[in-house]
């Protein structure tokens, strides 16, 4: 017998004064999974999270958590915890008081509160900071306090709304690993909103990519990177994004299509031996690799990835080649042609 999904959103829609929030959102989330809602600003990912949390109610559709219809239930009745971008800490309370605030409100016995607090502080690496106020903490420590508060809540479902966007790049990387380890160790189900594809691709088992209030593709990070459902997914996922090429400029390919090609699948070859002749528009050295941007009429985002330091002068003309099996094919509507 196949287990029912832990969370189900079915044909969910939300509009404000006729303006689209989200439309036709259907999603199954398995227990213990890490699901990232990814997309540009205004795509509907935070609205979807707020609908799941009960902070907004849908105009259409239904929401189920653990087999229970919670479509119109209050947030407090949904058995979930939330971690926000803003930390949402009380400035006048200590770390310990912030972490157990919800337990006190629910009148959890003192001994149980103390045990849960000790466990959460140990898991999040906040031991020794119990008596500090939020103003005395770094950004990363404040975010860990918010995580500790979610841990003591003891809920099986945790919703996170861009929790790392206020941190610097190095700290983001560190806390990202903390969150993923916490999710794994505690066995909780996480739904995580982000506009940062690196976060989504490195943390999630399942990525839900959205645009203009609609889901574009649901799948593993590998699915979205190697089998994008349409040209939007192809260009959004990957750094650098997939190049899009008009098929008529490539010999031996059916005309009228859009071709997708990843930077690591392109090789520079001696003049006269390539499939396309391009002009170098930029070269970016990233330490372990160099990205060389190319220009060719009929191609967008054409980039070559080469190992180590491999700079080429801007304006130089080079030939590139690639294999047909590495081409992704999209029809006139921008949708992936099955089998490619």
What is the per-residue pLDDT across 222-260, written as a single tens digit (0 to 9) for each?
A: 999 999 999 999 999 999 999 999 999 998 888 899 999
Q: Does position 340 have pLDDT exceeding 70, yes or no?
A: no
Please give the backbone phi and psi of residue 219, each rounded to the nearest 5 degrees, phi first. 175, 180
State mean pLDDT over 112-124: 88
Q: Does position 176 have pLDDT exceeding 90, yes or no?
A: no
> Which residue carries 């390539």 as its tokens?
274
Predicted local confidence at residue 119, as pLDDT: 87
Among the residues of the chain, which ranges form H helices?
45-53, 95-105, 110-124, 139-153, 169-186, 197-203, 221-226, 231-236
Predicted local confidence at residue 153, as pLDDT: 86
pLDDT tens for 303-312 read 999 999 999 9
Domain locations in the chain as residue ranges: 7-230, 234-330
Burial of 206 (0-12, 13-18, 19+ CB in 10 A): buried
Burial of 90 (0-12, 13-18, 19+ CB in 10 A): exposed
CATH top-level class of 7-230:
alpha beta
Residue 315 banded pLDDT, cuts 50, 70, 90:
very high
Question: Is there a common fold for 7-230 and 234-330?
Answer: no
The answer to whether residues 172 and 164 touch, using CB atoms and an 8 Å cutoff, is: yes
Predicted local confidence at residue 333, as pLDDT: 95
Residue 140 banded pLDDT, cuts 50, 70, 90:
confident
* Torsion angle of C-alpha atoms 292, 298, 301, 304, degrees rounded to 10: -30
Residue 339 banded pLDDT, cuts 50, 70, 90:
low
What is the residue-averaged pLDDT of the chain?
92
For 177, the token pair is 């690993």
Q: Please state which architecture CATH assigns to domain 234-330.
A: Beta Barrel (2.40)
C-alpha pair distances (Å), 328 with each of 60, 92, 264, 301:
36, 55, 14, 14
Pairwise CA distance, residues 140 & 121, whole Å:
14
Q: In 3D, which of 336, 339, 338, 332 has the Cα closest to residue 242?
A: 336
Percent of all residues in the chain with a pLDDT value above 70, rounded to a whole number: 99
175 or 279: which leads in pLDDT: 279
């Amino acid at each position: 017998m196949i287990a029912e999904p832990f969370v189900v959103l079915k044909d969910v829609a939300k509009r404000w004064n006729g303006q689209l929030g989200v439309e036709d959102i259907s999603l199954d989330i398995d227990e213990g999974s890490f699901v990232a809602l990814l997309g540009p600003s205004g795509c509907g990912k935070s609205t979807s999270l707020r609908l799941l949390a009960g902070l907004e109610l849908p105009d259409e559709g239904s929401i189920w958590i653990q087999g229970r219809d919670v479509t119109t239930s209050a947030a407090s009745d949904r058995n979930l915890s939330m971690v926000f971008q803003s930390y949402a800490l009380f400035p006048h309370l200590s770390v310990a008081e912030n972490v157990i605030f919800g337990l006190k409100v629910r009148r959890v016995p003192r001994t149980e509160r103390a045990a849960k607090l000790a466990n959460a502080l140990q898991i999040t690496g906040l031991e020794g900071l119990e008596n500090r106020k939020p103003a005395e903490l770094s950004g990363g420590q404040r975010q860990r306090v918010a995580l500790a508060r979610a841990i003591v809540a003891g809920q099986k479902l945790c919703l996170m709304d861009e929790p790392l966007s206020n941190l610097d790049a190095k700290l983001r990387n560190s806390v990202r690993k903390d969150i993923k380890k916490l999710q794994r160790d505690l066995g909780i189900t996480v739904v995580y909103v982000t506009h940062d594809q690196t976060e989504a691709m490195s943390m999630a088992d399942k990525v839900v990519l959205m645009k203009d209030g609609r889901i574009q593709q649901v799948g593993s990070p590998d699915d979205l990177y190697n089998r994008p459902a349409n040209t939007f997914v192809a260009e959004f996922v990957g750094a650098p994004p997939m190049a899009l090429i008009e098929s008529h400029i490539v010999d031996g390919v059916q005309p009228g299509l859009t071709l997708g090609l990843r930077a690591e699948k392109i090789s520079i070859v001696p003049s006269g031996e390539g499939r396309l002749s391009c002009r170098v528009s930029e070269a970016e050295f990233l330490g372990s690799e160099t990205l060389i941007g190319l220009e060719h009429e009929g191609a967008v985002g054409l980039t070559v990835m080469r190992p180590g330091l491999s700079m080429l002068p801007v304006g130089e003309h080079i030939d590139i080649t690639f294999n047909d099996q590495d081409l992704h094919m999209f029809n006139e509507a921008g949708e992936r042609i099955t089998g490619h």
